[in-house]
Amino acid sequence: MMKTSTADARQRRKGSGDLLGPNSEIGRKLRQYYDDLVSEDVPDRFAQLLAQLEQAKPASKKD
């Protein structure tokens, strides 16, 4: 079994230009999924519930 030093591993990462190595494809897919999710519209029902929550906050707040 051949041992690799941390310096060897760092050099391989530098040479490839890909900081995540084999995980880069996973990172790209997660970024694409996140971007798609964030760009979607908020459903009307959810927006109504958020508005009701905002109105209820001051009334239920006791100091």
- CB half-sphere exposure, 14, CA atoms < 13 A: 6
Q: Taking the domains of the chain in order of start, what are their residue ranges?
A: 23-58
Report the alpha-carbon angle 2-22-33, nearest 5.
165
Q: Residue 1: pLDDT band by 50, 70, 90 thresholds? A: very low
Say whether pTM exceeds 0.85.
no
Asked if residue 3 has pLDDT above 60, the reply is no
pLDDT in tens, 15-50: 555 666 778 889 899 999 999 999 998 899 999 999
pLDDT in tens, 47-62: 999 999 998 876 555 5
